[in-house]
A and B are shown apart, each in its own frame.
Chain A
Amino acid sequence: MSTQGMILAGCDGDRTWRLQDYVARGGYSALRKIVADKTPQDNIIAELKASVLRGRGGAGFPTGLKWSFMPRSFPGDKYLACNSDEGEPGTFKDRDILRYNPHAVIEGMAIAAYAMGAARGYNYIHGEIFEIYQRFEEALAEAREAKLIGRNILGSDFSFELFAHHGYGAYICGEETALLESIEGKKGQPRFKPPFPASYGLYGKPTTINNTETFASVPFILNMGGEAFLNLGKPNNGGMKLFSVSGHVNRPGNYEIPLGTPFSELLEMAGGVRGGRKLKAVIPGGSSAPVLPADVIMGCTMDYDSISKAGSMLGSGAVIVMDETTCMVKALERLSYFYYEESCGQCTPCREGTGWLYKVVHRIEHGEGRPDDLDLLNSVTGNIMGRTICALGDAASMPVQSFIKHFASEFEYHIENKKCLVPPEVQHAGSNIYVSPSC
Chain B
Amino acid sequence: MLSQESLQQIDREIAKYPPDQKQSAVMSALRIAQVEKGWLANETIEFVAGYLGMPAIAVYEVASFYNMYDLHPVGRHKITVCTNLPCALSGGVHVAEYLKEKLGIDFNETTPDGKFTLKEGECMGACGDAPVLLHNNHRMCSWMTREKIDQMLAELDGK
A253 at the B interface (CB under 8 A): yes
Smallest distance from the beta carbon of B19 to chain A beta carbons, Å? 12
Residue of B nearest to A131 (CB): B140
B10 at the A interface (CB under 8 A): no
- Contact B125 A87, beta carbon cutoff 8 Å: yes
B26 at the A interface (CB under 8 A): yes
- Contact A334 B85, beta carbon cutoff 8 Å: yes
Residue of A nearest to B127 (CB): A246
Residue of A nearest to B131 (CB): A433
In the complex, 13 of the A-B residue pairs with CB atoms within 8 angstroms, ordered by the A residue number, are A89-B86, A90-B123, A91-B123, A92-B126, A166-B31, A170-B65, A171-B123, A185-B23, A248-B90, A252-B130, A287-B85, A431-B93, A439-B129
Q: Tell me the complex Cα distance, A92–B90, Å.
A: 15
Residue of A nearest to B63 (CB): A168
- Contact A252 B123, beta carbon cutoff 8 Å: no
Residues of B within 8 A of A187 (CB): 61-62, 65
- Contact A128 B91, beta carbon cutoff 8 Å: no
Residues of A within 8 A of B128 (CB): 92, 244-246, 252-254
B41 at the A interface (CB under 8 A): no
User: Which residues of B are in contact with A by a Cβ distance under 8 Å?
Assistant: 16-18, 21, 23-28, 30-31, 52, 54, 58, 61-62, 65-69, 83-86, 88-91, 93-95, 121-131, 134, 137-140, 142-146
Per-residue B-contact encoding for A389-429, CB less than 8 Å = 1, 0 else: 00000000000000000000000000000000000000000
- Contact B127 A431, beta carbon cutoff 8 Å: no
Q: Which of A94, A164, A165 contacts B125 (CB 8 A)?
A: A94
List of 5 A-B pairs having minimum Cβ-Cβ separation, nearest first: A433-B91, A185-B23, A169-B68, A128-B124, A246-B86
Q: Tell me the complex Cα distance, A77–B91, Å.
A: 48
Residues of B within 8 A of A127 (CB): 66, 68, 137
Q: Tell me the complex Cα distance, A439–B128, Å.
A: 10
Q: Tell me the complex Cα distance, A324–B89, Å.
A: 12
Smallest distance from the beta carbon of B72 to chain A beta carbons, Å? 16
Residue of B nearest to A188 (CB): B65
- Contact B24 A169, beta carbon cutoff 8 Å: no
Residues of A within 8 A of B140 (CB): 128-131
Q: A89-B84, A170-B65, A187-B61 are in contact. Are A246 and B130 (CB under 8 A)?
A: yes
Q: Tell me the complex Cα distance, A32–B124, Å.
A: 36
A382 at the B interface (CB under 8 A): no
Residue of B nearest to A439 (CB): B143
A74 at the B interface (CB under 8 A): no
A182 at the B interface (CB under 8 A): yes
Q: A169-B68, A433-B90 are in contact. Are A342 and B125 (CB under 8 A)?
A: no
Q: Tell me the complex Cα distance, A10–B75, Å.
A: 43
How many A residues are at the interface, by size bracket? 35 or more
- Contact A318 B21, beta carbon cutoff 8 Å: no
Residues of B within 8 A of A245 (CB): 128
Q: Tell me the complex Cα distance, A435–B140, Å.
A: 16
- Contact A186 B126, beta carbon cutoff 8 Å: no
Residues of B within 8 A of A89 (CB): 84-86, 122-123, 127
Residues of B within 8 A of A169 (CB): 66-69, 122
Q: Tell me the complex Cα distance, A94–B65, Å.
A: 24
Q: Tell me the complex Cα distance, A188–B137, Å.
A: 19
- Contact A432 B23, beta carbon cutoff 8 Å: no
- Contact B85 A331, beta carbon cutoff 8 Å: yes
Residues of B within 8 A of A182 (CB): 27
Q: A89-B85, A338-B123 are in contact. Are A131 and B61 (CB under 8 A)?
A: no
Smallest distance from the beta carbon of A53 to chain B beta carbons, Å? 22
Smallest distance from the beta carbon of A327 to chain B beta carbons, Å? 11
A95 at the B interface (CB under 8 A): yes
Smallest distance from the beta carbon of A137 to chain B beta carbons, Å? 10
A320 at the B interface (CB under 8 A): yes
Q: Which of A94, A168, A322, A338 contacts B27 (CB 8 A)?
A: A168
Smallest distance from the beta carbon of B15 to chain A beta carbons, Å? 9
A232 at the B interface (CB under 8 A): no
Residues of B within 8 A of A252 (CB): 90, 127-128, 130
Interface centre among B27, B83, B86, B129 (most CB of A within 10 A): B86
Q: A86-B125, A165-B16, A170-B65 are in contact. Are A131 and B86 (CB under 8 A)?
A: no
Interface centre among B54, B89, B130, B145 (most CB of A within 10 A): B89
Residues of A within 8 A of B16 (CB): 122, 163-165
Smallest distance from the beta carbon of A105 to chain B beta carbons, Å? 15
A191 at the B interface (CB under 8 A): no
Residues of A within 8 A of B89 (CB): 246-248, 320-322, 326, 431
Q: Tell me the complex Cα distance, A435–B142, Å.
A: 9
Residues of B within 8 A of A168 (CB): 27, 30-31, 66-69
- Contact A342 B85, beta carbon cutoff 8 Å: no
- Contact B24 A335, beta carbon cutoff 8 Å: no
Question: Which residues of A95-135 are within 8 A (CB) of B?
Answer: 95, 120, 122, 126-131
- Contact B125 A92, beta carbon cutoff 8 Å: yes
Q: Tell me the complex Cα distance, A168–B25, Å.
A: 12
Smallest distance from the beta carbon of B102 to chain A beta carbons, Å? 14
Smallest distance from the beta carbon of B21 to chain A beta carbons, Å? 6
Residues of B within 8 A of A185 (CB): 21, 23-27, 52, 54, 58, 62
Smallest distance from the beta carbon of B34 to chain A beta carbons, Å? 9
Q: Tell me the complex Cα distance, A130–B88, Å.
A: 23
Q: Tell me the complex Cα distance, A90–B138, Å.
A: 20
- Contact A90 B61, beta carbon cutoff 8 Å: no
Residue of B nearest to A174 (CB): B125
